[in-house]
């Protein structure tokens, strides 16, 4: 803590080696830190709310792997469950009783998931959900919202949020044929959605969106928006898919859908479900999910789908949540302390940036005015100010996401002391950003 983050020889050396051996130096583009002008520190260890880089610097972590870390890094309940499962054999290619039990637990938590399919990543969950929707409705078109991110499959990647934001994506690697089957409308904009549905609703299989968006910073649905989307989908016979890959186990035990009181036809889960291991799921109405092979004609499968190690990690996460009294209220109280503290710091410095908080997600953008409602508004944020703030926070031992399109995640391991240290750092870091 408090050690100056100056680019050092070891970090530079590893970045050079990364550039020579990994495409673009990374396995996922956001890690190159393009918006902040430097790659995310090479991290080698995590424990609770803390991570350590390759030269032993310690950071309070709010990157949290972009969402999966919910209990804290290296939670022993998860690592022990994983070790036990590894000892019994990590993969069989046959159905395991614990897979069945996990599906039962998810059905008990998410009313919208009458039948479940386990997969390995959020990308796969969203791909599967889309294919099921097309198979069920026998329609081809999909509607998405600008700034939501549903993984890197062809149909989901252009006009999306997070680090996928690229004007070139539509012409590089994604065919015009695929792009032509997808309508991208602004989030929080019912008239635009209705316009598309009126014109092409009878050819549209599904609307997919994040009920609370975590990929254009943190963007909340306006009052009545999600209920309005639900109503329009019903009217046009279109399935509604909630991508709760981020919000699933973060917003509460039943996801954002339970908080906002809107039930989708299909739900996608991922990230926090695996406590750091790659497991995801999609599930929905029984009649819809029954189109999946072998019950129906729609294929989706995977060598590692439902593998015992990741399933054991998911059970350990669910067990830990169930065993902790007031798990979600306590988590939210920590996040609220951070959000309120940041709002105070910003107000004291006369910076008119609204702080947004939903469950254990906290964010502010360097953009004055009320919280952003759309990707167009999110793009107005001052990128240079964020880069200066990010680097100054790193100098003070606080790791933030290297892009303003991402957000801060709080875990059950973050303490009030962590939050207070973070607020002290923010107070100083904002002087750099303001300059």
Catalytic positions, written as ranges = 149, 243, 271
Among 144, 150, 391, 396, binds ligand PLP (CB under 6 A): 150
Interface with ligand PLP, residue 363, by CB under 6 A: no
Instruction: Considering the complex, state which of residue 48 and residue 151 has its C-beta at the smaller distance from ligand PLP.
Output: 151
Give the β-pairing of 239-243 and 266-269: parallel
What HEC string does 24-43 produce?
HHCCCHHHHCHHHCCCCCCE
- Residues 397, 378, 236, 293, Cα dihedral to 10°: -30
Of 53-61, 118-126, 218-226, 339-347, which segment contacts ligand PLP by CB under 6 A? Answer: 118-126
In 107-238, which ranges are E strands? 115-119, 141-146, 182-186, 204-209
Q: Which of positions 276-305 make contact with ligand PLP (CB under 6 A)?
A: none
By the 8 A CB rule, do 280 and 243 touch? Answer: no
Among 39, 122, 147, 201, binds ligand PLP (CB under 6 A): 122
Of 36-44, 240-248, 289-297, 333-341, which segment contacts ligand PLP by CB under 6 A? Answer: 240-248
Interface with ligand PLP, residue 270, by CB under 6 A: yes
Q: Which two tokens stand for residue 346?
A: 């910003």
How many CB atoms lie under 10 A from the CB of residue 352? 9
Q: Which of positions 154-183 make contact with ligand PLP (CB under 6 A)?
A: 162
Among 40, 112, 123, 411, binds ligand PLP (CB under 6 A): 123
> What is the side-by-side strand order in the sheet with 204-209?
115-119, 280-284, 266-269, 239-243, 204-209, 141-146, 182-186
Instruction: Considering the complex, state which of residue 363 and residue 418 has its C-beta at the smaller distance from ligand PLP.
Output: 363
Among 36, 82, 118, 126, binds ligand PLP (CB under 6 A): 126
The alpha carbon of 247 is separated from its chain's Cα centroid by a whole number of angstroms, namely 7
Interface with ligand PLP, residue 245, by CB under 6 A: yes
Q: Among 354, 7, 244, 278, which Cα is nearest to 119's?
A: 278
List the Cα angle 313/161/399 in 5-degree steps. 60
Among 29, 46, 48, 151, binds ligand PLP (CB under 6 A): 151
Q: Which of positions 72-111 make contact with ligand PLP (CB under 6 A)?
A: none
Interface with ligand PLP, residue 243, by CB under 6 A: yes
Q: Point out which residues bind ligand PLP (CB under 6 A).
A: 66, 121-123, 126, 149-151, 162, 210, 214-215, 243, 245-246, 270
């Amino acid at each position: 803590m408090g050690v100056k983050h100056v680019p050092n020889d070891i970090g530079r050396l590893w970045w050079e080696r990364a550039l020579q051996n990994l495409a673009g130096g990374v396995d996922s583009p956001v890690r190159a830190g393009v918006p902040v002008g430097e790659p995310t520190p090479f991290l080698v260890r995590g424990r609770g709310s803390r991570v350590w880089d390759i030269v032993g610097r310690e950071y309070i972590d709010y990157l949290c792997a972009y969402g999966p870390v919910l209990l804290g890094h290296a939670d022993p309940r998860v690592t022990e469950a994983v070790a036990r499962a590894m000892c019994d054999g990590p993969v069989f290619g046959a159905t395991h009783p614990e897979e069945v039990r996990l599906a039962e637990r998810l059905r008990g938590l998410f009313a919208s998931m009458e039948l479940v399919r386990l997969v390995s990543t959020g990308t796969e969950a969203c791909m599967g959900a889309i294919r099921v929707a097309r198979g069920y409705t026998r329609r081809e078109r999909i509607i998405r919202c600008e700034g939501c991110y549903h993984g890197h499959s062809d149909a989901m990647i252009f006009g999306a949020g997070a680090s996928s934001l690229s004007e070139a994506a539509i012409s590089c690697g994604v065919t015009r044929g695929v792009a032509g089957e997808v309508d991208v409308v602004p989030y929080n904009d019912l008239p635009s959605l209705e316009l598309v549905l009126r014109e092409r609703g009878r050819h549209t299989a599904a609307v997919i969106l994040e009920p609370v968006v975590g990929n254009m910073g943190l963007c909340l649905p306006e009052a009545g928006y999600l209920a309005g989307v639900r109503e329009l989908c019903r009217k046009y016979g279109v399935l509604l898919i909630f991508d709760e890959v981020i919000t699933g186990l973060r917003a509460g035990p039943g996801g954002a859908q339970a908080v906002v009181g809107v039930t989708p036809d299909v739900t996608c889960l991922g990230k926090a479900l695996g406590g750091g291991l790659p497991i995801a799921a999609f599930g929905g109405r029984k009649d819809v999910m029954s189109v999946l092979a072998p019950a129906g004609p729609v294929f989706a499968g995977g060598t590692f789908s439902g593998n015992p190690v990741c399933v054991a990690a998911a059970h350990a996460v669910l067990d830990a949540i169930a065993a902790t009294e007031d798990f979600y209220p306590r988590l939210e109280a920590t996040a609220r302390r951070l959000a309120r503290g940041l709002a105070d710091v910003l107000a004291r410095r006369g910076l008119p940036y609204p702080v947004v908080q939903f469950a254990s997600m906290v964010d502010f953008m360097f953009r004055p005015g009320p919280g952003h409602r759309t990707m167009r508004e999110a793009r107005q944020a001052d990128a240079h100010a964020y880069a200066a703030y990010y680097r100054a926070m790193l100098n003070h031992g606080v790791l933030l996401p290297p892009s303003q399109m991402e957000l801060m995640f709080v875990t059950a391991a973050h303490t009030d002391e962590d939050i207070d240290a973070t607020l002290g750092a923010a107070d100083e870091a904002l002087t750099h950003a303001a300059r």
